[in-house]
Structure 1
Amino acid sequence: MVDAGIRAGRGLGLVDEACWDRDALMEEVAREYGLDDFGDDWFTRPLDVMLDSARVEARLNAAGDFSAMKQIHHLLRDRLYAQMWFKRHPEILARPIKNPVVIVGPMRSGTTRLHRLLSSDRRFAHLRSFETISPVPRPDFEEVMAGEKEDFRPVLAKRIMKVARLANPRTLSIHPTGPYEPEEELGLIAASFYGMKFDAQWRVPTYTRWCEEQSAVPAYRHMANLMRLIGWSQQESSLRPWILKTPQHMLDLPALLEVFPDARLIFTHRDPKSVVGSTASLAWNQTIIYADDIEVAPHGREWLRKTELMIERMRSARDNIPRERMIDVQYDAMDRDWRGTMERIYAFLGLDMEPAVEGMEDFLARSAAMKRRPHSYSLEEFGLSTGEVYERLGDYVRKYKVPVEDPFALTRPAIAAG
């Protein structure tokens, strides 16, 4: 429906064709907003690769390339506005970010649940969903802070979520959210046109491999500055530790720790059969909004490869992290006894959990109400088999003692699905 509407609009000359030229896009945004400082120009490198990869490989439909242009315009505008705020209020960049608590785990390994439980504790700072969509306030935000205007960003977030759900209603059951719900910082990393946000919505293999070969430090530095801006806009105490989480950290732990050297890390683990199946399903349900002819089996193999790489990078990076700065949490343990698991985490953080329990219970009740129906998926629908997943990720299961649905499958030879 959305795709047909955009095609019709283009036929009538009401909707512009997609532009894949980076210089032209930057010039257009700079002219529209009367600003020309985009900050550290490192972002132009991933943007160039992304534009070429999306144009050639993503096979976007009209809704896909229209959405791509809107996203790029939005991100470029936010870079301009961010530099404007940093110049207008230099104290923003002086805000410390001390002892952040970072949840690190594969996609669909319970990171969202844990992040939202911890975010319900007012002793921590966290990002809200509208702030990961639009981390940078508009130029009139000082009037919002003075109570003279409404912040438009939550309104925009609600509209974007509504369009996404109309395009594919399954997104609501896979990742329930709302404008004010705690959310991960993937959008802040994407502000540098880097990372998995784009992998999970478009088929862009050249861009994906390029990102996997880069140092992400510049993207993480910009993310940290956006966190400072968000903390300032929330009028949040800089003494409160941030709660962070995004699967991107699995790939980029060295960059994370260079930018946040005193981070405390919570690693989540889940049966890789469920991780791969659920991840492929999540990415698939986003990708098919933007492209009409994505092949199912290659999509499944790509997310198995990506999950394997994430785990490999995470395991390698852990070798250089002091043991007292990290803790491991099993998805199944959280399912069986969330309170007992959270008590372990709070002991690791050196905090009394009791003041946070009421907020956590409120979150769990709200979460149950938001989730309309269970997320259903299987490996087989993506051309994968349990044996293949365990053959490639069985060592991870054994190393971290991850409970699996079928322990005997770890010893059986792999048989390809289909």
Structure 2
Amino acid sequence: MTALKVPDLMERATAKTGLADFGDDWFREPLDVLVHSLNTEAALSPPGFELTRHRLTALLSDRLRLRAVQRSNPGVLDIEVRVAAEICGLPRTGSTLLHRLLSASPQVTSTLSWEVAYPLPFPGEGPDAELRKARARERMQVFSQLSPDFGDLHTVVWDGPEEDVILLDRTFVSMSFDSFYRVPTYGDWLRSADQRPAYRELREWLQVLQWQNTARSLPWVLKSPHHLTAVDTVLDEFPDCRIVMTHRSPVSAVPSYASMVRAMSSQYSDNTDPVHIGRYWSRRFARTLEGFAAARSARPGRFVDVRFADTVGRPLEVAREVMTALGLPPGPADDEAFETYLEQNRTERHGSHSYTPEDFGLSEDQLRRDFAFYSEVYL
């Protein structure tokens, strides 16, 4: 195993695709910071190193393919993208349930798991995208084998709605990286960076998804906790977008996410320190929520609040309320779609997973103190 090197990764992507135009090189800064942090902090295992090199090469390859599509089809850049909502909130706050529920509505569209993994057509692939769907199923099976506990924390559905942050991975400006790896230097950089170029590219990825399926020219309902790190940028880039903020006590949410991070990062490193994970994400989320409060106070009309207990206890009513707040009042077709999804959700695997704050170097009292500024207002 040797160190990851950005020029080598870019050469590999060029060799893989036969393409050489990466477009504007603004992405080099986040990629350089990420690679340095991976080399010096992540303690990658030999399999983790190979998986990471493959992953970064694939992300760079997609950048090359995106530029090739735009050159061959310049009208792609003129496609109108309407984002109705970005569902945000700390992880483990009911945002996945709400996202999948709202995405069932015939009035909206959402990014799907297989297409955020493989957003561009394979050579020779037909409009049904069967090759990419088959690859996504295989990939999900491999991931389940590498992280067998992950399914107990988060239901994985290869063809269901998935976070749009996975599209942002191709900009190398993404919370995915410090969730999968111990890269605190990169995490510090991310939370101080100007994310506007990344969100302009997110728009381009949504354009290319609509270009592949013109029937999807509906408002997007998207979701990721990453967007809490760039609330103002989201609202500026997507002027019709509302932030749907999911709320749950950080006493529950933070240790739950720390448990998820430990399950995810174990496939890349044999040295996953639960205390580091817990304290890292507790600090990160406290700072993120402080920034969120400032952004919200400037544009309060762009936010919709949803509490975890309501999402779990009365999901149909919550879905109707949120759709109405988004200016998309639900009708009988929406209600039928919501009911159908809720029935599906009941049959999906929901395992049990036990942990305590102390498992991650935290305590309930400390979490209550550190997040009191948030809990006293929103819970």
TM-score for the superposition, normalised by structure 1: 0.87
Displacement of 1:357 after TM fit?
1.6
Given candidates 176, 179, 199, the residue that maps to 2:155 is: 176
Displacement of 1:322 after TM fit?
4.2
Deviations 1:12-36 (A, max 9, x none): xxxxx45511112212221332111
Partner SS, residue 319 of structure 1: helix
In the alignment, which residue of structure 2 is the partner of 1:298? 276
Contact 1:81–1:139, Cα closer than 8 Å, also in 2 = no
Q: In 2, Cα distance between the equivalents of 1:347 and 1:262?
A: 14
Q: Does 1:60 align with 2:37?
A: no
Partner SS, residue 350 of structure 1: coil
Q: In 2, Cα distance between the equivalents of 1:330 and 1:202?
A: 30
Q: Does 1:50 align with 2:28?
A: no
Partner SS, residue 161 of structure 2: coil
Deviations 1:151-185 (A, max 9, x none): 32222221221111111211112111222111110
**1:365 and 1:260, CA in 2 relative to 1: closer, same or farther beyond 3 A?**
same
Q: In 2, Cα distance between the equivalents of 1:99 and 1:186?
A: 14
Q: How does 1:246-265 map to 2 (within 5 A)?
A: 246-265=224-243
Q: Which amino acid aligns with 1:133?
A: A
Displacement of 1:328 after TM fit?
0.7
**1:46 and 1:153, CA in 2 relative to 1: closer, same or farther beyond 3 A?**
same
Q: Which amino acid aligns with 2:342?
A: L
Q: Does 1:366 align with 2:336?
A: no
Deviations 1:81-100 (A, max 9, x none): 11111111111111111242
Q: Which amino acid aligns with 1:315?
A: A
Q: How does 1:14-93 map to 2 (within 5 A)?
A: 17=1, 20-93=4-77
Contact 1:19–1:25, Cα closer than 8 Å, also in 2 = no
Q: Does 1:274 align with 2:258?
A: no
Contact 1:37–1:83, Cα closer than 8 Å, also in 2 = yes
Given candidates 225, 232, 235, the residue that maps to 2:214 is: 235
In the alignment, which residue of structure 1 is the partner of 2:321? 344
Deviations 1:367-387 (A, max 9, x none): 222224134332121111100
Q: Which amino acid aligns with 1:64?
A: G
In the alignment, which residue of structure 1 is the partner of 2:192? 213
Displacement of 1:123 after TM fit?
1.1
Displacement of 1:253 after TM fit?
0.8
Q: In 2, Cα distance between the equivalents of 1:140 and 1:21?
A: 32
In the alignment, which residue of structure 1 is the partner of 2:304? 327
Given candidates 133, 149, 153, the residue that maps to 2:117 is: 133
Given candidates 111, 117, 137, the residue that maps to 2:95 is: 111
Q: How does 1:182-193 map to 2 (within 5 A)?
A: 182-193=161-172
Q: Point out where structure 2 has 5 or more consecutive residues left out of the alignment.
A: none
Given candidates 343, 346, 369, the residue that maps to 1:391 is: 369
Deviations 1:38-61 (A, max 9, x none): 122111111111111101110011
In the alignment, which residue of structure 2 is the partner of 1:406? none
Q: In 2, Cα distance between the equivalents of 1:279 and 1:358?
A: 32
**1:349 and 1:100, CA in 2 relative to 1: closer, same or farther beyond 3 A?**
closer
Q: In 1, Cα distance between the equivalents of 2:318 and 2:17?
A: 49
Contact 2:235–2:242, Cα closer than 8 Å, also in 1 = no
Q: In 2, Cα distance between the equivalents of 1:88 and 1:129?
A: 26
TM-score for the superposition, normalised by structure 2: 0.96
Contact 2:227–2:234, Cα closer than 8 Å, also in 1 = yes
Q: In 2, Cα distance between the equivalents of 1:168 and 1:30?
A: 31
Q: State the aligned residue count.
A: 378
Contact 2:94–2:312, Cα closer than 8 Å, also in 1 = no
Higher Rg: 1
More off after superposition, 373-382 vs 109-118: 373-382
- What is the alpha-carbon root mean square deviation over aligned residues? 1.5
Q: Which amino acid aligns with 2:13?
A: V
Deviations 1:323-375 (A, max 9, x none): 2x321110011122222222321221233323212211221222222224134
Q: In 2, Cα distance between the equivalents of 1:36 and 1:351?
A: 43
Q: Point out where structure 1 has 5 or more consecutive residues left out of the alignment.
A: 1-16, 403-418
**1:233 and 1:19, CA in 2 relative to 1: closer, same or farther beyond 3 A?**
farther
Q: Which amino acid aligns with 1:302?
A: Y
Q: In 1, Cα distance between the equivalents of 2:78 and 2:275?
A: 48
